[in-house]
A and B are shown apart, each in its own frame.
Chain A
Amino acid sequence: MILSGHNLTIGYRDRVVGRGLDVALATGDVLALLGPNGGGKTTLLKTLLGLLAPQSGEVRLGDRRLASLTSRQRARLIAYVPQFHVATFAFTVEAVVLMGRTAHGNLFSRPSSADRAVAVCVLERFGIAHLRERPYTMISGGERQLVLLARALAQEPQFVVLDEPTASLDFGNQGKVLREIRALALSGHGVLFTTHDPNHAMRAADRAYLLRDGIRVGEGATGMILTKAQLERLYGTSVETVNDSTGRTAFLPG
C-alpha cells in the first residue's frame, strides 16, 4: 500500500505553509523528513495524517482518498506518534497502550480481552512489559517514547508517522528508537519521521525528503541525497563530512 500526497498546498486557515508538494511512502519503507525550523515539516506530517486538510491537491491511501475515510478507518491504517505527550492524568502504561485500541471498538465498548492481549504483545515487543502497571507520568523520557510507539502499534496500522521521535532523548535512547524504526520497516510498516539530525536519517531511513520554506528542495535515497552540498543549501550553514574506511558518512554542523 502507498500513502501519497499529490501537488499539495498545505497550511492553516490564514496562512499557506507549503506548495506543490508531492510525496510517497510505501509499506516497508522508511522516509525521513528533514529541514530547518518553520520549513513546514510538521504541517506536512499533519496533512499526511489527515489531521489537517490540504488547501489543494489530495492525500491518497492506496486507491482511496484519505479525506473519504472516517477517523476510525484512518486510525486503523495510520498511527501517529506525537512529539510531546502532555499527560494530565497519571494513567498506567497499560491504559495508555489500550488507547491505541480505540479504533478497533465502537464508541461505547470497553477494552476486550483481545485488546488486552494486543497491548501485552506490543509492550513485550519493545521490552517494556514490566512497566505495565506504572503511571505513565513516572517513567523516563525514553520509556515514554517506547510506550507511545507501543500505543501506535496497538492500532495495528500499515503506516506509522513520528514527529521528531529522537528529540529530547538521551544518546542511548536515540539509538534505541532508531533501531525500533528500522524494525518497524522490517515488520512491513511504512514509516515517516521528522528529524533535525541528518545522521539519524542516514541511520534509520531509506529515503530522505528535504523541505525548506515549504518547498521540496530534494528527495532520494539517503546515501545519494544527503551530501555536504545539499545539507549546506538546506540549512544555510557550513557542514563537515566525516568518512570511515567502509565508506560510511557522518555529518558535523558548523
Chain B
Amino acid sequence: MAVAAAVLVAGLLLALMVGRYPISFAELFSAIAGKLTGHAPAVPSTIDNVVWQVRGPRVASAALVGAALAIAGTAFQGLFRNPLVSPDILGASSGAALGAVLGIYFSLGVFAIQALAFLGGLLAVAAVYAIGGAVRARDPILVLVLTGVVIGALLGAGVGMVKYLADPYGQLPAMTFWLLGSLASIGAADIAPLGIPVALGTLMLLALRWRLNVMSLPDEEAKALGLPTGPLRVAIIAAATLVTSASVATAGVIGWVGLVVPHIARTLVGPDFGRLIPATALLGGGFLLLIDTLARTVSAVEIPLGILTALVGTPFFIWLLASVSKTWS
C-alpha cells in the first residue's frame, strides 16, 4: 500500500515539474504553499500559471482517469471471476466511443461530445445488462460477458460506419485522435464533470470492497454466505460503469490501465479486495500520470495515450504472466 501511495506521489510531482517549461521542486513547493496559505506566491507568475492553469488540470484529470479505470477493472475482474477482464468488458468504452464519434460527426461542441460519450457508455452497459438478464441461463455471469462482447462488436461496427461517412479532412482526424485517447485538451472546466462521477463510483466501490471477495465466488456460494447477489451485482456494475464512462468521455479510449494495474496491485498487496481496491486506485492514478508525462515530453509531438499504454502495457503484461501467474491461481 505504501508503494502504491509512493507511485502516486512520485507521479504527481514528476508530472507537475517536467515539461516544456521545467519547474524545480523548490519552485513547485512555493507555488503550492502560496496557493494554500493564500499569500502571493514567492515565484514568478509564469510558474504559478504553469502549475495551476496549464499542468494542474491535466495532472488532476490524469490521476482521476487512471484511478477510475484501474478501480473499475479490479471490480469487474472480481465480479466476473476472471483476471483478464477489463473495464470495457460490458461495452462501456465502445458505447462511449460511438457517442463521441457521433458528436464529432454532427459537429457538436466539446461538452456535447463528452455528454454523448458518457451517455453512450451508460446506455451500452444498460442494454447489455437488460439483454443478459432476459436470457435465462444457469450461468448469468457468462451470459452477461458474452452479451457484452456481442454488443461491443456491434457498437464497433457503428463507430466504423460513422468514420466511413465522416469528412476525411476535418472530422476523421478528430475522431481518430479521440479514439486513441489524450489529455492534451483538458482544462479546469473538465475537472467537475470528470471528478464528480468518478468520486461517486469510487466511493461506492470502496464501501463495498469487503463484499467483493464473496462476490468473486460462484453465485450460489455467495448467496449461501448471505449476500443478495442480484442487487449487489447491479450496484457494482453501475459504479464501475459510471467511472469508466466519465473517464472515456473526458480522455478518450485508453486501454490497458484497467487490465494491467490491478495485476501490479495484486502482486503488491495480495488478492483480498479489502486492500486491493484502495491500492489499485492509488497505483492507477500514479501509472497514468507517469504515462501522460511521457506522452507529452518524449517527443515534440504528443503521443496518444492509448498507444503508449499499449506499448508499456503489453511487454509488462507478458512479464507478469510469466512471473507471477500464481497470484491468481
- By a beta-carbon cutoff of 8 Å, the part of chain A in contact with chain B is 13, 46, 49, 51, 70-72, 74-76, 78-80, 82, 85-92, 95, 98-100, 102-103, 105, 107-111, 135, 137-138, 155
Contact = CB atoms under 8 A, between A and B. Distances in A.
Contact of A108 (B208, B214, B271): B208
Contact of A80 (B207, B213, B224, B329): B224
Nearest to B228: A71
B327 interface: yes
B228 A110 contact: no
Contact of B220 (A46, A76, A87, A105): A46
Interface in B216-236: 216-218, 220-221, 223-228, 232
Contacts of B207: 107-108
Interface of B: 78, 81-83, 136, 207-208, 210-211, 213-214, 216-218, 220-221, 223-228, 232, 266, 270-272, 274, 326-329
A110 B210 contact: yes
A99 B211 CA distance: 8
The 8 closest A-B pairs by CB, nearest first: A75-B226, A103-B226, A80-B224, A89-B271, A137-B329, A88-B81, A72-B226, A102-B225
Contact of A88 (B210, B228, B272, B329): B329
A100 B274 CA distance: 15
A111 B228 CA distance: 18
Given A92-B270, A102-B227, A82 B213 contact: no
Given A89-B266, A90-B271, A108-B211, 6 more contacts: A72-B226, A82-B218, A90-B326, A90-B328, A95-B272, A108-B208
A75 B83 contact: no
17 contacts: A13-B136, A49-B224, A71-B227, A74-B226, A75-B224, A79-B224, A80-B224, A85-B217, A88-B81, A89-B78, A90-B270, A90-B328, A102-B211, A102-B225, A102-B227, A107-B211, A110-B274
B225 A155 contact: yes
